[in-house]
Structure 1
Amino acid sequence: MAGVRLTKKDDGILVLSIDRPEALNALNRGIVDEIDEKIDEIEKDSGARCLILHSDKNFAAGADIKAMAECDEEGAKAFAFSPTYNRLAALRIPTVSAIEGYALGGGMELALATDIRIAGEGAKMGFPEVSLGIFPGAGGTIRAPRLIGAAFAKELIFSGEAVTAERALQMGLVNRVVPDDRVFAEAYRLAGKIARRGPVAVRRAKEVIDRGTAMNVESGIELEAAEWAKLFNTRDQKEGMQAFIAKRKPEFENR
């Protein structure tokens, strides 16, 4: 049965998967509502350290066009995925998209709402919306320019063409490209590395990066200095530095 799964792995790693293979894991209102429900679970999980988004064979081949075709303006607003994607982007833990196959339209925007993107060599990514008489409406016109610059974002959005993983890497749309059969393994390896770091420090680093990029340099550095200093009130800072001095692995307590 089609739906969304949230699986718990070792070391506080969670995996969110769309299971709609007959539609290349295309997104519809029901699927996105399920993602929203899973985000509720993730937010409540105090042991969560990193989230991987990975779906078998295809990441998400856009939105369900049949469900949108007859929408009017109000119907389009109700169909919009942005509120859920914003919640995903605002998660305190790091998030990694493991992209196999197609990540198009709303599927690409889903990947953009995560912190890091790893793509398989055969992946195809882009924003085909202009060929349907619309443009990306779930963060694509906002997040893509911030990630890859306005010129590359305009090329992708105006042309509606899908790009290869290698071209996406050149643009900065993805962090790395690996063989197709290694996509999840590479994402899991990276998530494991993140999960073993100081969880309080990682969470606060993500917050400072996200908030700081919306500030001027001086204000951002002030924010960084203040949040950095607060870490010296944490148990994890004491453990991390004491472990380094003693040449042993730290045992972080997430506090």
Structure 2
Amino acid sequence: MTTLILREGADRLHVELNRPDVRNAINDDMVDELHAVCTSLEREPRILILTGTSTPERGVFAAGADIRQLLERGRDEALAGINSGLFIRIARLPMPVIAAVDGFAIGGGAELAYAADIRIASTRAVFGNPETAIGILAAAGATWRLAELVGEPLAKEILFTGRRLDAEEALRCGLVASVHEPDQLAAAADTVADRIAGQDPLALRVSKRVLAAPRDAHPLVDELAQAILFESDAKTQLMTRFLNRSQETR
């Protein structure tokens, strides 16, 4: 890996975006390497924690796509969905994805964060989508994910005016789940991952798939998914353990 730093764990994978000289701008190499990460996590499902390069002085998640490469792209590259295809793949990973955002998450960097299941932020985090200021649109997920995350009125203001959200605004509108001091962000991400890791893996994977199902697929998809889980060994073991603990505390 030349653009990412990976740290492996038994139940999680930490991936740090690592192009600090260009504020972690997302280029073709990073896209390819993130696809390789997805291949690994699809084969061996684990929690993914995405972070950017940070120092005590400055944090950067990702300051957008690489403008030099965007300048050279034309119609065919746009239709190929280079970044949007990657972010959809990340959003569809079997296990939950956590984005720990320290500093700027702008343009494509914000859209990468939007693709995560859970976002947490440092006090110096900033989110924004200024694509229309450079003659393009936020085509890697912001035009639909952002409205789902923060509501259509605020999404329109961000996309049409270039408005940026600081950490507290992001917390108030529900874009992030929590805000932490920069030196505590990594530990906070691991705490979230610890809570996820304490759940049944199959129930997590099925819950994530059901959450992503279209509205008109419910409740049938819920019932079919529950039918699978009701037959799992984990369900029997975990419920029995719960009942035994309840008996012991009486």
Q: Return the TM-score normalized by structure 1.
A: 0.89
Structure 2 distance, partners of 1:159, 1:198, is: 43
> CA offset at residue 5 of structure 1?
3.0
Q: What corresponds to 1:246 in structure 2?
A: 244
Partner of 1:230: 228
Runs of 4+ in 1 over 3 A off after TM superposition: 75-79
Do the aligned residues in 2 keep the contact of 1:28 with 1:67 (CA within 8 Å)?
yes
Q: Offset of 1:77 from its aligned partner?
A: 3.5
Partner of 2:105: 103
The reply to whether residue 51 of structure 1 matches residue 48 of structure 2 is yes
Moved more, 35-44 or 223-232: 223-232
Q: 1:74: which partner in 2?
A: 76
Secondary structure of 2:155's partner? helix
Q: Secondary structure at the match of 2:124?
A: coil
**Shift in Å, 1:78:** 4.6
CA distance in structure 2 between the aligned counterparts of 1:70 and 1:235, rounded to whole angstroms: 53
User: What is residue 252 of structure 1 aligned with on the other side?
Assistant: none
Aligned equivalent of 1:87: 89
In 2: Cα distance, 1:37 partner to 1:23 partner: 22
Answer yes or no: is 1:134 the counterpart of 2:141: no
Partner of 1:154: 156
Where structure 1 has 5 or more consecutive residues not aligned to the other structure, the ranges are 249-255
Deviations 1:107-133 (A, max 9, x none): 110011110000111101110111111
Segment of structure 1 superposing worse, 26-35 or 169-178: 169-178
Please report how far the alpha carbon of residue 226 of structure 1 lies from its aligned counterpart in structure 2 after TM superposition: 2.4
The 2-side partners of 1:49 and 1:26 are apart by 25
Q: Which residue of 1 aligns with 2:202?
A: 200
Q: Contact conserved, 2:84 with 2:140, CA < 8 A, in 1? A: yes
Structure 1 counterpart of 2:57: none
| Number of the residue aligned with 1:31 | 30
Tell me if the contact between 2:81 and 2:140 (Cα under 8 Å) persists in the aligned partners. no
Q: How does 1:58-69 map to 2 (within 5 A)?
A: 58-69=60-71
Partner of 1:221: 219
1:173, 1:109 → 2: CA distance?
Answer: 12
Task: Determine the C-alpha separation between the residues in 1 that align with 2:197 and 2:53.
Answer: 23
CA distance in 2, matches of 1:132, 1:111: 21
In the alignment, the residues of structure 2 paired with residue 44 and residue 208 of structure 1 have an alpha-carbon distance, to the nearest angstrom, of 20
Q: Which residue of structure 1 lines up, in the alignment, with residue 20 of structure 2?
A: 21
User: Residues 21-42 of structure 1, C-alpha deviation per residue, up to 9 Å, x if partnerless?
Assistant: 1111110111111100111111
Paired positions, count: 241
- Please say if residues 13 and 192 of structure 1, whose CA atoms lie closer than 8 Å, have aligned partners that are also in contact: no
Paired residue secondary structure (2:6):
strand
How many Å apart are 1:241 and its aligned residue?
Answer: 0.8
Identity %: 36
Matched, 1:7 2:4: no
TM-score by length of 2: 0.91
How far residue 59 of structure 1 moved from its aligned partner, in angstroms, is 1.1
